[in-house]
């Protein structure tokens, strides 16, 4: 599968990344290699094999609807790059 | 002028009324100090182990059964990726191709016409946090993040805003009766997005727009009317509709473009590895089905066709499940449906309103209510005395029989005593008596009033009327 500059642009846009032209052409090459590696799996004959979504065949792993104490706010905010006394702070975003 | 047809579909989000969040034990309570209902799981810290709340599955299945859906015996959660700070994980745990409920419907009546609205699917997902926009920065509060939601997606079956409104009312009622969501619009517990397109009659469907931020039923109605008209104007002027996501501005009464198709979302859905699939047995689904209450539309139908109540009564009685249950229990205890209905719609509603109480706070049991109505029916107290007894029952936990006895409220049906009072009133009111004898038949009601007053409301009013007529003629 060929990765075009347009594909890289699209992915960069979705990932909110700004890339220079050199970076984009380098990434196009690298991504093509990565996807090519994954394409190798396509050579396998999986006729009749059901898609697997989980590594173990376990289902209905559920918890009861019970309250547990929340964390101390200071702890939750502790590692935030930017915060005030009560909230995480992020650059202004408006939809 | 071309004739256009409008095609509308809805996506409704309802917050489920569980105690704890969908993947952790933090409370779902509305409000609270910012970031105090938060733990590492719902703030998206790495390495945590989310575990699905069993009530969330149960409530979604309940809603699905009440909306006539098929329940998927195998269901799974998926990650929906998007990068926005209201979701700390950069993905929302939702459902993609294996939702819990599929293919249901709701029957509505809009503009007097019955209409069936198809439900495409219902799935479970987590709510996002709240963004507080300030000058130059945005503050993020994750209290709401991880509150369980169901998303109800309808077929594009709506033709106008009246149908949208009727559907939202019906849906709200069903979610309240099944006790799946408290549906508090003001707290954002019920929210709706609108997909709308128009096309000329006989032509294929037009390009649709999606409208977000509809936080009340009236906003949904106004937004649908506005958008249908806007598209009509554009198409009539020879323009084209672009597939945009619009944001409704309720204060301004218009919408604006949030994003257009060029940056259409691409969510890269994939199966959620942290949450195991749900496998639901027929037994489990049947057990939930058996706990479903009788739904409001069915109750109204029963009240009208089996109990002979006017539709107006049936509608008022089913506004709340509690009141409707109270009505049914009082009738089951032996009372006449119409008398129960009259007292509920009159005195009980008035007293609840005056005190600002929710219906659930009604301090009268169905048994006592039936007892009171039987006192009236037997003639032991008058109807108006009944109203007074109800008022006393709001404040004192006593049976109506005890209240009537203690306060000497029993109706006087002793003909001798009533005749004596009538004589006295006739003697004291010669002018009214003249009016009556002069042909003003209605003047007798003033005399009845005087006798009732003299008896402090205890005289049997029909006997008073009868004896007065007897004495005057």
| Domains by residue range for chain B, with CATH | 4-283 (no CATH), 309-406 (no CATH), 415-472 (1.10.10.410)
pLDDT digits (tens, 9 = 90+) for B113-166: 999 999 999 999 999 999 998 888 999 999 999 999 999 999 999 999 999 999
pLDDT digits (tens, 9 = 90+) for B434-457: 888 888 878 888 888 888 888 777
Q: How far is B204 from chain A (nearest CA, A)?
A: 31
**CA neighbours closer than 13 Å in the CB half-sphere of residue B301:** 6
User: Measuring CA to CA, which residue among B6, B38, B5, B7 is closest to residue B24?
Assistant: B38
Q: How far is A12 from chain B (nearest CA, A)?
A: 12
Q: How far is A22 from chain B (nearest CA, A)?
A: 24
What is the end-to-end Cα distance of chain A in Å, rounded? 35
Structure ipTM = 0.78
Beta bridge partners of residue B115, listed in sequence order: B108
pLDDT digits (tens, 9 = 90+) for B232-257: 999 988 888 888 888 888 888 888 88
Q: Does domain A5-43 have CATH number 1.10.20.60?
A: yes
Contact residues on chain A for B259, CB-CB shorter than 8 A: 95
Q: Is the pLDDT of residue B183 over 80?
A: yes
- For chains A and B, what is the number of CB pairs under 8 angstroms? 125
The pLDDT score that the predictor gives to residue B126 is 97
Give the residue with greater pLDDT, A50 vs B354: B354
Give the start-to-end residue ranges of the domains of chain A. 5-43
Question: Sorting pLDDT into bands at 50, 70 and 90, what band is B261?
Answer: low
Q: For residue B194, what are its two tokens?
A: 């609108």
The pLDDT score that the predictor gives to residue B149 is 96
Under 8 Å between Cβ of B185 and B219 = no
What is the end-to-end Cα distance of chain B in Å, rounded? 74
Q: Please, what is the average pLDDT of chain B? A: 90
User: Measuring CA to CA, which residue among B154, B157, B165, B64 is closest to residue B115?
Assistant: B157
* Mean pLDDT along residues B449-473: 80
Which of B33, B45, B135, B138 is most worth mutating to test chain A (most A CB atoms within 10 A of its CB)?
B138
Subunit contact B25:A67, Cβ cutoff 8 A: yes
The pLDDT score that the predictor gives to residue B63 is 97
């Amino acid at each position: 599968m060929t990765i075009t500059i347009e594909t890289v642009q699209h992915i960069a846009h979705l990932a909110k990344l700004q890339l220079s032209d050199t970076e984009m052409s380098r990434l196009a090459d690298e991504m093509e290699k990565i996807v090519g590696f994954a394409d190798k799996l396509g050579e396998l004959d999986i006729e009749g094999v059901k898609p697997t979504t989980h590594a173990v065949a376990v289902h209905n792993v559920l918890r009861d609807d019970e309250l547990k104490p929340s964390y101390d706010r200071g702890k939750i905010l502790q590692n935030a790059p930017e915060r005030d006394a009560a909230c995480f702070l992020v650059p202004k975003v408006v939809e | 002028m071309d004739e256009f047809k409008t095609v509308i579909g809805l996506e409704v989000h309802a917050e489920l009324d569980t105690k704890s969040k969908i993947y952790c034990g933090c409370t779902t309570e509305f409000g609270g100090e910012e970031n105090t209902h938060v733990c590492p799981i719902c703030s998206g810290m790495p390495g945590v182990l989310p575990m699905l709340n069993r009530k969330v599955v149960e409530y979604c299945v309940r809603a699905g059964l009440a909306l006539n859906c098929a329940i998927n015996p195998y269901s799974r959660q998926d990650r929906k990726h998007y990068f926005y700070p209201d979701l700390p994980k950069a993905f929302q745990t939702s459902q993609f191709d294996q939702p819990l409920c599929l293919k249901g419907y709701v029957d509505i009546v809009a503009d007097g016409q019955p209409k069936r609205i198809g439900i495409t699917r219902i799935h479970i997902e987590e709510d996002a946090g709240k963004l507080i926009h300030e000058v130059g920065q945005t503050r993020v509060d994750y209290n709401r993040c991880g509150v369980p939601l169901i998303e109800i997606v309808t077929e594009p079956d709506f033709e106008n805003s009246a149908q949208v409104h009727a559907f939202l009312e019906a849906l709200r009622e069903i979610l309240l009766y099944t006790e799946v969501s408290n549906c508090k619009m003001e707290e954002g517990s019920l929210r709706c997005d609108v997909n709308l397109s128009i096309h000329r009659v006989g032509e294929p469907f037009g390009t649709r727009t999606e409208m977000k931020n509809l936080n009340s039923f009236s906003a949904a109605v106004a937004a649908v009317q506005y958008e249908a008209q806007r598209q009509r104007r554009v198409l009539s002027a020879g323009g084209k509709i672009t597939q945009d996501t619009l944001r409704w501005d309720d204060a301004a009464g218009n919408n604006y473009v949030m994003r257009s198709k060029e940056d259409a979302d691409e969510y890269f859905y994939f199966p959620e590895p942290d949450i195991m699939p749900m496998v639901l047995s027929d037994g489990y689904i049947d057990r939930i089905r058996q706990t479903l209450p009788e739904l409001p539309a069915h109750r109204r139908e029963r009240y009208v066709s089996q109990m002979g109540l006017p539709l107006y009564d049936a509608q008022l009685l089913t506004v709340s499940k509690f009141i409707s249950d109270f009505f049914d229990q009082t009738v089951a205890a032996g009372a006449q449906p119409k008398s129960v209905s009259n007292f509920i719609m009159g005195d009980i509603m008035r007293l609840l309103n005056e005190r600002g109480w929710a219906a659930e706070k009604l301090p009268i049991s169905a048994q006592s209510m039936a007892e009171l109505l039987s006192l009236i029916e037997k003639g032991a107290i008058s109807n108006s005395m009944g109203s007074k007894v109800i008022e006393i029952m709001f404040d004192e936990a006593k049976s109506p029989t005890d209240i009537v006895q203690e306060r000497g409220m029993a109706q006087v049906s002793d003909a001798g005593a009533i005749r004596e009072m009538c004589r006295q009133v006739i003697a004291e009111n010669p002018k009214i008596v003249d009016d009556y004898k002069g042909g003003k038949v209605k003047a007798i009601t003033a005399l009845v009033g005087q006798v009732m007053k003299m008896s402090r409301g205890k005289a049997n009013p029909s006997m008073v009327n009868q004896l007065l007529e007897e004495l005057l003629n």
